[in-house]
Amino acid sequence: MSVSTAPLALPPARSRLRRRLRRYGPAWLGGAIVLAWILVALLAPWIAPYPPDAVDVTSRLLPPSAAHWMGTDTLGRDVFSRLLHGARLSLFAGFTVVLLGAAFGTLVGIVAAWARGWWDEALMRLTDLVLCFPPIILALAIAAALGIGPVNTILAMLVVWWPKFARLARALALVQRSQEYVEAATVLGLKPRRILARHILPNTLGPLAVLITLDLGNAILTFAGLSFLGLGVIPPTPEWGSMVAEGRELVEQWWVATFPGLAILTVVVGFNFCGDGLRDWLDPKGRSR
């Protein structure tokens, strides 16, 4: 009499849970990372052990210790405290650029798809004109012309950030415009503004939300890059990109640039995980598996 050695099948509920954890586990991890950084940014004034701009030249370039968890920089400022306060500006810049750019770009794309004719041609040629330039180079040129400062840097990024949303919104709106329910609403005499707001726009939000989530990390990285080049913030304002720039020549004092760089890495990875998970969840075939 032979005994079967085949593994026991998991109960359907447990098997489904395991599949979902395997599929959405990175998304939950990314969401936890992003939520943690948002809480850090909100609570930075209360959880930072030192003021972010407190200078102490007698404690300059100290390595990580119990007194200074992430060491000190060239002016004796606590890197950990500056890192916590830097999260406020970096996250604010990322959310502002992406949300405003998405709102304006979506409006341009939907109007172009609905109006067609010369309106569509003019708006899309303007979009193509902005897309002709590498975003970081164009943002760098605009920021340099406007002057140093976070507001000017955000404005420079907004100029180059909306075209991708306009392109995507136009493509989605063209697909929705050809649907029968839009034709029926038009025949019933509904105004174009009502059709756009109540029918076309809600059906384009899914892919746009995925792009927004994925783009938040890119916006934070771009803002940090401009700050690294000296165009983001005015010293001594704490910001991750400028903190990395301060430590780029301090090879032995590795902590000055390493910890801000890791902060940028974690928040970008977190948003990317969230965007991938949101894309999978919005896919009907993916949710059924």
Taking only the tens place, the pLDDT of each residue in 6-37 is 554 545 656 665 666 666 678 888 889 999 99
Reference 173, options 213, 201, 210; nearest CA is: 201
Whether 127 is covered by a domain: the verdict is: yes
In the predicted model, is pLDDT for residue 148 greater than 90?
no
Taking only the tens place, the pLDDT of each residue in 68-108 is 899 999 888 999 999 999 999 999 999 999 999 999 999 89
> For the chain, what is the domain count?
1
Per-residue CA distances from 254 to 10, 25, 70 (Å): 49, 32, 10
Q: What is the mean pLDDT of residues 112-118?
A: 82
Whether 4 is covered by a domain: the verdict is: no
**CATH, residue 163:** 1.10.3720.10
Q: Residue 225 corresponds to which amino acid?
A: G
Q: What is the mean pLDDT of residues 195-213?
A: 81
Mean of all residue pLDDT scores within the chain: 84
Q: What pLDDT does residue 220 have?
A: 93
Separation of alpha carbons 238 and 167, rounded Å: 35
Q: What angle do CA 86, 73, 78 make, to 5 degrees?
A: 55
Name the more confident of 222 and 23. 222
Q: What is the mean pLDDT of residues 54-65?
A: 88
Q: What pLDDT does residue 19 have?
A: 64
Write out the residue range of the structural domain in which residue 281 sits: 80-288
- In this structure, the number of other CB atoms found within 10 A of the CB of residue 121 comes to 12
In the predicted model, is pLDDT for residue 184 greater than 80?
no
Whether 41 is covered by a domain: the verdict is: no
Q: Residue 36 corresponds to which amino acid?
A: A
Separation of alpha carbons 257 and 224, rounded Å: 12
Q: What angle do CA 71, 247, 138 make, to 5 degrees?
A: 135
Whether 185 is covered by a domain: the verdict is: yes
Whether 22 is covered by a domain: the verdict is: no
Q: What pLDDT does residue 15 have?
A: 61
Whether 74 is covered by a domain: the verdict is: no
